[in-house]
Structure 1
Amino acid sequence: MTYIEGFVCPVPTASKNEYHRHASEAAPIFKEFGVTRMVESWGDDIPKGKLTDFPGAVQATDDETVVFSWFEYPDKATRDAANARMMSDPRMKAMGESMPFDGKRMIVGGFDTIVDERGEGTPGYTDGYVVPVPTVKKDAYCEMAREMAGKFKELGAVRVVEAWSDDVPDGKVTDFKRAVKAEDGESVVYSYVEWPDKETRDAAWAKMMADTSMEGKEMPFDGKRMFWGGFRPILDTAGR
C-alpha cells in the first residue's frame, strides 16, 4: 500500500509565495526520487486546542502559518531509497540552505497506510489530523477509521487516508510524538481527508456533528490529545 512521508512545518506568513516557489522547484527532484504525489497545504482553519494543536506542534509564532504536507510513495522501500539519495544529492543541500522556514521546528515521519478510501471529485481542501493511539488498539482504530471513511465519502469527501506511524524519529526541538504528548505504548496516526472545496467540508462537518450514531461508542484513542485543522492546497503534483 501507499507509504506516506508526513510533514508539519511553521512558515512565516509573509513568505507564502517564496515557500510555494521553493516547493515547486523541489517537486521535480522529489518525483525523480520516486515520490508519486507531493501535496503542500497552507493553514486556513486551525483551531486552538487545550492540550495540543497544530501551532503548538511546531512552536509556531503569531506571524507564522502552519503547513501540512505529505509525499506519497508506492511502498516503504521506494521511500527509504529516496531518503538515501536525498542525503547525498547536492541539489538537496542547496535547497536546504535556502529554505524559507525554520527547518529545526519542522516535524516529519514515515507512516504505513491503513485506510485509503477514494470518492468522486477533485481535491480542493484538506482536513489534516494527528492522533495518539495505543498500539494494542490498532485493530479497533482501523475498524473505526474505515467506518468514518465511509461516512466522509457519503458526505462528499474525495479521499480519506489514515496512516500508522512506522518511522517517526525523535527531534531535537519538535517531533510527532511530542506534538500529541504520546505516552509509552502509543503510536501516532497521520491522516487527511480531502474535500472538493471548503463549503463541502463545512456542510459535511455540520451533518457529522448532528449525527447521533456515534454517541456512546468508546473511542480507541485519547481525543483530548488529537488535533486537526483545515488547509488549502497550494501545490499538488497530481495535477489537480
Structure 2
Amino acid sequence: MTYVEGFVLAVPAANKDSYKAHAEQAQPLFAEFGVARMVETWGDDVPDGKVTDFKGAVQAQDGETVVFSWFEYPSRAARDAANAKMMSDPRMKDMGTSMPFDGKRMIMGGFESLLDESDGARGAYVDGFVLPVPNDNKEAYRTLAARMAVKFREYGAVRVVESWGDDVPDGKVTDYRRAVKAVDGENVVFSWIEWPSKAVRDDGWAKLMADESSKPDGEMPFDGKRMFWGGFEPILDR
C-alpha cells in the first residue's frame, strides 16, 4: 500500500512562479531518493472555517496562499530511507537556503494508507482534507470512507485516498495535531480526492449533496467541526 508524506504550507501569492520553479528543481532529486510521485497543489477554493481551516493550520497571512502537497512511496521503509538521504545530501542543504516560503510554518507528517480507490488516472483538480479521528474509531472511519469513495467515484472522481497518521511529529510553530485541535486518543487523517477538472468536481459535489443515499447513517466516527478542506489546482505532478 502507498505510504504518504503529507505537507501543508503557506506561500506568498507573489511567489507562485518561484515556488513552482523551486519544486520543479527539487523533484528530480526527490525521485532519485525514492519518491514515486510528487504532487504540489495551489489553493483555489479554500474556505474559512468556524473552528479550523487550512489557513489557520499554517498561520497564513494576508497575501499568502495555502499549498497542499504530498509525496508517495511504496512503503514506510522507502520513505525513511529517502528522508535519511535528504538529510545527508549537500544538494538539499543548498536548496534550503533559497526557499520562497516560511518553512517554520510548514506542517508535515507520514501517513499509512487506509484506502486508495483509483482508475489509474491522475486528477487535474484536488480536494484536500485534514481531520482528527479517535484511534478507537479507525475501522469505523475506514468503513465510512470506503462507502463514500464509491459515491465520489460514481460522480466523477478518478482517485480517493485516505491515510492514517503514522509518523506525525509535534512542531515548534505549527503541526497537524494543533491544526485540527486533536485531543488525547485522536489521530490525524490526511486525505484527498482527485478529479479530472474543477467543473467535474463542482458537479460531483452537487450530485453528492443531493443524493440521499450518501447521507450519514448514524453517528459520524469523527468530529466534523474540526475537519477542514479545500479545493486545489495542481502546479506539479510527477
TM > 0.5: yes
**1: CA distance between counterparts of 2:142 and 2:221?**
9
SS state of the match for residue 177, structure 2? helix
SS state of the match for residue 97, structure 1? helix
Superposed, 1:12-23 pairs within 5 Å as 12-23=12-23
What's the RMSD between the two structures over aligned residues? 0.9
Question: Unaligned 5+ residue runs, structure 2?
Answer: none
Superposed, 1:69-108 pairs within 5 Å as 69-108=69-108
CA contact (8 A) 1:120 1:157 kept: no
**2: CA distance between counterparts of 1:85 and 1:24?**
19
Q: Specify whether residues 167 and 122 from structure 1 end up closer, same or farther in structure 2 by C-alpha distance, changes over 3 A only.
A: closer
How far is the alpha carbon of 1:217 from its aligned partner? 2.5
TM-score (norm 2): 0.98
* Aligned equivalent of 1:230: 231
Question: Unaligned 5+ residue runs, structure 1?
Answer: none
CA contact (8 A) 2:11 2:102 kept: yes
How far is the alpha carbon of 1:119 from its aligned partner? 2.9
Q: Specify whether residues 74 and 122 from structure 1 end up closer, same or farther in structure 2 by C-alpha distance, changes over 3 A only.
A: closer
How far is the alpha carbon of 1:228 from its aligned partner? 0.2
Question: Is 1:65 paired with 2:58?
Answer: no
SS state of the match for residue 98, structure 2? coil
How far is the alpha carbon of 1:216 from its aligned partner? 4.8
* Aligned equivalent of 1:3: 3
How far is the alpha carbon of 1:211 from its aligned partner? 1.7
**1: CA distance between counterparts of 2:161 and 2:146?**
10
* Aligned equivalent of 1:150: 150
Q: Specify whether residues 215 and 5 from structure 1 end up closer, same or farther in structure 2 by C-alpha distance, changes over 3 A only.
A: closer
**1: CA distance between counterparts of 2:67 and 2:22?**
13
Q: Deviations over 1:133-171 (max 9, x none)?
A: 000000000000011111100001010000000000000
Count matched residues: 237
* Aligned equivalent of 2:205: 205
How far is the alpha carbon of 1:124 from its aligned partner? 0.4
TM-score (norm 1): 0.97
SS state of the match for residue 234, structure 2? strand
CA contact (8 A) 2:122 2:159 kept: no
SS state of the match for residue 99, structure 2? coil
**2: CA distance between counterparts of 1:22 and 1:148?**
36
CA contact (8 A) 2:35 2:73 kept: yes
How far is the alpha carbon of 1:212 from its aligned partner? 1.9
* Aligned equivalent of 2:111: 111
Q: Specify whether residues 84 and 227 from structure 1 end up closer, same or farther in structure 2 by C-alpha distance, changes over 3 A only.
A: same
Question: Is 1:33 paired with 2:33?
Answer: yes
* Aligned equivalent of 2:51: 51
SS state of the match for residue 24, structure 1? helix
Question: Is 1:125 paired with 2:106?
Answer: no
In the alignment, residue 198 of structure 2 is paired with which amino acid?
K
**2: CA distance between counterparts of 1:216 and 1:136?**
19
**1: CA distance between counterparts of 2:7 and 2:216?**
32
Q: Deviations over 1:8-66 (max 9, x none)?
A: 00000000000000000000000000000000000000011000000000000111000
SS state of the match for residue 32, structure 1? helix
